[in-house]
A and B are shown apart, each in its own frame.
Chain A
Amino acid sequence: MKLSSAKVSKESKGASPSHGGHHKNSLHLKHRSHHSILPLPPVDALEQWSSVTVDMYNSNNNNHNQQQQPQTSHTSTSRSSDYSAGGDGEPSGTGNKWASRLLKECARAISDKDSSKIHHLLWMLNELASPYGDCDQKLASYFLQALFCKATESGQRCFKTLTSVAEKSHSFDSARKLILKFQEVSPWTTFGHVAANGAILEALDGEPKLHIIDISNTLCTQWPTLLEALATRNDDTPHLKLTVVVTANIVRSVMKEISQRMEKFARLMGVPFEFNVISGLNHIGELTKEALGVLEDEAVAVNCIGALRRVDVGERAALIQMFRSLGPKVVTVVEEEADFSSTRHDFVKCFEECLRFYTLYFEMLDECFTATSNEKLMLERECSRSIVRVLACDNDQDKEGECERRERGSQWSERLKEVFSPVRFSDDVADDVKALLKRYKAGWALAQAHQNETGLYLTWKEEAVVWVSAWKP
């Protein structure tokens, strides 16, 4: 039944908040009678609008010949020109981002509590989305999932189910393969590693006893190069104690294997090495100075990769204070450039920021991996869990699992400045990073922070995506 031929229902005109009892804001996942399964009568304005969107969707997939802008080549770095992505092999123009438009409209409708509009948009998204299609289809699919969870108030349950399934199907092999493959095709993670290692090595230079506290879920992929650097220094090789704090269950189960490998590698490198794992915490916020076992004569470095965002917003200041109390020589922080924190009480703003960030990320994945890559799929699914967490789970209510309230570099800097002073990355480190980026496809660049900001940014197609910074007391 065509949209245009459906009748318009009087009650659903406009965004009037007065609804009949039929539509509720929080609809539970219960069965609706078969008799009501019919094409939804569209709202006047919606009808025209949604057929425009459908046209956009169709022409998006069809317009090889009609694109105004040239096809992207490897040398193009700006996102404002075309990129060619697409699971079904057809180019899509950046002008026609149907998924983004539909999703934003839907988020606004949810915020406005416009039931019939919500239903109409969810319907469209449901029909057009696919997690196995092109970027738009994927974004539509994963954000639809989050919106559906929100509308049915099942966000918490969904997140738990998604996470436990992912944990069950992960193994050391699969996790390792995933991380290594990602690092091979994209500098998203290696950027932070190289810069942080550079800062750490410089700060700990000359110290005989090192204690690096690694709060991350990187499966220690950061450390082999550091160990190598320590081993090949002219002076005496220092003793390295590495304490890894993990919270993700997926990572916990594989730490045993990892510790064996790290110890073996250190032996190979001839670096005196001690490896500890702290895995009993539910939240990083629970971490205490005592648990870390820092000794008087140790030169301490604290390394946080994507860690601060997992701390409850209210506990972030306290954690940073705790770091200070360890008397570290350097604190390195790597985070992704997105703000889900200051927007957390405004659903639409948070949604839009979430969409912006994940669109970037998905587009990046699409370009770096092949169309049929299982690793890419795993990473996308990881995102889908985060998206559900951020959008469909109530703030601060859930004490299980970690929150994922990202903040931008400038926001983290504000926090860290209370207690630490920024350390500038040396030219050597900047050179190392640039050399790293050269190893990857075009599109990546290093950007220095602006006037009042600190740290380095990894940019992809001129958008800042990852931020790294170094701090000292």
Chain B
Amino acid sequence: MMKGGFEVVHATLDMIQPRREPIWDFTTTTVSSIPRQQQCINSDRNELSEWVEHVTKQLIDDLPAENTETDHRGSLQLQEADTSMACEENFAPSVLGDFRPSKTVTGEEVQWNRLNEQGLSLITLLLECAVAISIDNLGEAHRMLLELTQMASPYAVSCAERVVAYFAKAMSSRVINSWLGICSPLINFKTVHSAFQGFNNVSPFIKFAHFTSNQAILEAFHRRDRVHIIDLDIMQGLQWPALFHILATRIEGPPHVTMTGFGNSMELLVETGKQLSNFAKRLGMSFEFHPVGTKFGEIDVRTVQLRRGETLAVHWLQHSLYDATGPDWKTMRLIEQLAPRVVTLVEQDLSHGGSFLDRFVGSLHYYSTMFDSLGAYLPADDPNRHRIEHCLLYREINNILAIGGPARSGEEKFKQWRSELAARNCFLQVPMSSNSMAQAQLILNMFPPAHGYRLVQGDGTLRLGWKDTSLFTASAWTSHSSR
């Protein structure tokens, strides 16, 4: 499970930050002045998402404002190293997204325009369909979906078309389960985990989540001998080997590590535990693993075997694949009760709450961006890209549109976890340190086309996105009553 790459990254950053007061790393910069030669391909702007926003402006205006990431559009940090990445990569015909004009013959440019038009008309129909669903006109929605599902291909060169194909399918699924009156997901976790790993290989978001959180946890564990990490959705535990490595090679020696991992299948959890134990053993680090096969929000606090003198870190990498933790209010209450020294949270910049149309617009913007980021790097017929889009991203889209939502699950989800944490007196934000920032930067350098990804530091958080759109935000919190 441990890849060479992880070790290299950590070797260069093996210093441990002494405990210090939270500093405000907020940086205001002007809108980035990207060298002009890239403007010819509009590389700075996520065209698909921009257009989506433009067309849905009417809808957005009618809805309660909730997109906080719009604030950060203006404060892009210029990543000079990134822009020096070969422009040629962006022109490689095999990885062109549909909104980047071809460098070659006019014939192809014309074709680009036609693709563009088709993409736009598909999205228009998709939006109409979403509106139909939002007003419960299922018959009309079904008819439009029949069209859409015949017209859009998930293997298209155009990212717009791929996005439409999956959104249309998710909405079809919704129409059917609305009609049936049943809304309960069936998930193949192994396929999902496998796709998650694939995604981790081609996109920096997961590593960003892992490394920035690990750094914050490391800092919180400074000079602590007995530590306990709770991972609210451990999956295959890809994150932890890197942290173990650093903990094992600390100047003050390795701590005793207990880990409580939550997940959906005991079988998979036990397997994960075995792998992590083996790894810890090889590092000569004392380690205990407790698997819990229930959702975190549904347990009793005593299920977590917390011992006296243990420093606690709670970690949560949020995603939309399935409901990992159960009701939000219960999860929050439990975290409060546990009073951890650090809570590391990585959220998608996507709201899971609100009406169908809210979620539709938000997720269309979000996933268009995500698809764009894959499309800038991987060819249209790459089976690996297809697997990630189908088994991971489509799963999320389906979960958001066809399964999720308060009317269906009967519960309100928090719009944004860090706002909720901030609103509670018992938690205090710990700004992400410059070391975390440096980790994030290193990761970005591993992933071409790095010039497409944007790393922003602000409000004590670290945000990673594609072009103008923030996709994931990492933050850290401490409980006032923590040990």
Which A residues form the contact surface with B (CB < 8 A)? 1, 3, 27, 29-32, 34, 36-40, 54, 57-58, 61-62, 87-90, 119-120, 122-124, 126-128, 130-133, 144, 148, 152, 154, 157-158, 161-162, 165-166, 169, 370-374, 377, 381
> Is B151 engaged at the interface, CB distance under 8 Å to the other chain?
yes
Residues of chain A within 8 A (CB-CB) of B136 are 31
> Is B391 engaged at the interface, CB distance under 8 Å to the other chain?
yes
B407, A29: Cβ atoms closer than 8 Å:
no
Which B residues form the contact surface with A (CB < 8 A)? 136-139, 142-143, 146-147, 149-151, 153-156, 165-166, 169, 173, 176-186, 188-191, 194-195, 380-383, 386-387, 390-391, 394, 407-408, 410
B147, A61: Cβ atoms closer than 8 Å:
no
For residue A33, which residue of chain B has the nearest CB?
A: B181
A37, B408: Cβ atoms closer than 8 Å:
yes
Q: How far is the CB of B395 from chain A (nearest CB, A)?
A: 10
For residue A31, which residue of chain B has the nearest CB?
A: B136
A127, B186: Cβ atoms closer than 8 Å:
yes
For residue A128, which residue of chain B has the nearest CB?
A: B186
A169, B179: Cβ atoms closer than 8 Å:
no
Residues of chain B within 8 A (CB-CB) of A158 are 146
Residues of chain A within 8 A (CB-CB) of B181 are 32, 36-38, 40, 119
Q: Evaluate whether A32 and B150 lie within 8 angstroms (CB atoms) in the complex, with A161-B143, A374-B155 already known.
A: no
- Complexed CA–CA distance, A119 and B178 (Å): 11
A31, B165: Cβ atoms closer than 8 Å:
no
B155, A373: Cβ atoms closer than 8 Å:
yes
- Complexed CA–CA distance, A124 and B153 (Å): 24
B180, A119: Cβ atoms closer than 8 Å:
yes
B179, A32: Cβ atoms closer than 8 Å:
yes
B188, A61: Cβ atoms closer than 8 Å:
yes
Q: Evaluate whether A372 and B188 lie within 8 angstroms (CB atoms) in the complex, with A32-B178, A89-B387 already known.
A: no
A88, B195: Cβ atoms closer than 8 Å:
yes
Partner of B182, one of A39, A62, A89, A372: A39
B169, A89: Cβ atoms closer than 8 Å:
no
For residue A126, which residue of chain B has the nearest CB?
A: B176
Residues of chain A within 8 A (CB-CB) of B166 are 132
A133, B390: Cβ atoms closer than 8 Å:
yes
Partner of A377, one of B155, B188, B191, B380: B155
Residues of chain A within 8 A (CB-CB) of B137 are 31
Residues of chain A within 8 A (CB-CB) of B195 are 88
For residue A161, which residue of chain B has the nearest CB?
A: B146
- Complexed CA–CA distance, A318 and B156 (Å): 46
Q: Evaluate whether A169 and B184 lie within 8 angstroms (CB atoms) in the complex, with A29-B179, A148-B176, A374-B156 already known.
A: no
Residues of chain A within 8 A (CB-CB) of B153 are 374, 377
Q: How far is the CB of B464 from chain A (nearest CB, A)?
A: 26
Q: How far is the CB of B318 from chain A (nearest CB, A)?
A: 21
Q: How far is the CB of A154 from chain B (nearest CB, A)?
A: 8
Q: Evaluate whether A123 and B177 lie within 8 angstroms (CB atoms) in the complex, with A37-B407, A169-B150 already known.
A: yes
For residue B187, which residue of chain A has the nearest CB?
A: A127
Selected A-B contacts with CB under 8 Å, 12 pairs: A29-B179, A37-B408, A39-B183, A40-B182, A61-B190, A87-B390, A89-B383, A124-B186, A127-B184, A169-B150, A377-B155, A381-B150
Q: How far is the CB of B143 from chain A (nearest CB, A)?
A: 6
Q: Evaluate whether A123 and B383 lie within 8 angstroms (CB atoms) in the complex, with A34-B407, A132-B154, A161-B147 already known.
A: no
Q: Evaluate whether A29 and B142 lie within 8 angstroms (CB atoms) in the complex, with A88-B195, A372-B155, A372-B382 already known.
A: yes
Q: How far is the CB of B354 from chain A (nearest CB, A)?
A: 15
Q: Evaluate whether A370 and B151 lie within 8 angstroms (CB atoms) in the complex, with A61-B191, A90-B191 already known.
A: no
A30, B387: Cβ atoms closer than 8 Å:
no
Partner of A29, one of B138, B190, B194, B410: B138
- Complexed CA–CA distance, A373 and B383 (Å): 10
Residues of chain A within 8 A (CB-CB) of B391 are 88
Q: How far is the CB of A305 from chain B (nearest CB, A)?
A: 24
Partner of A127, one of B185, B194, B381, B390: B185
A-B pairs with the 4 shortest C-beta distances? A127-B186, A39-B184, A372-B155, A31-B136
Residues of chain A within 8 A (CB-CB) of B382 are 372
- Complexed CA–CA distance, A126 and B170 (Å): 10
- Complexed CA–CA distance, A58 and B187 (Å): 8
Q: Evaluate whether A165 and B150 lie within 8 angstroms (CB atoms) in the complex, with A370-B383, A374-B156 already known.
A: yes
Q: A31-B178, A32-B178, A132-B154 are in contact. List 4 more A-B contacts (CB 8 A).
A: A62-B188, A123-B184, A128-B186, A373-B381
Residues of chain B within 8 A (CB-CB) of A373 are 155, 381
Residues of chain B within 8 A (CB-CB) of A152 are 179
- Complexed CA–CA distance, A133 and B382 (Å): 14
Partner of A88, one of B154, B155, B189, B387: B387
For residue A119, which residue of chain B has the nearest CB?
A: B180
B150, A166: Cβ atoms closer than 8 Å:
yes
- Complexed CA–CA distance, A167 and B188 (Å): 36
Q: How far is the CB of B149 from chain A (nearest CB, A)?
A: 7
Residues of chain A within 8 A (CB-CB) of B407 are 34, 37
Residues of chain A within 8 A (CB-CB) of B156 are 374
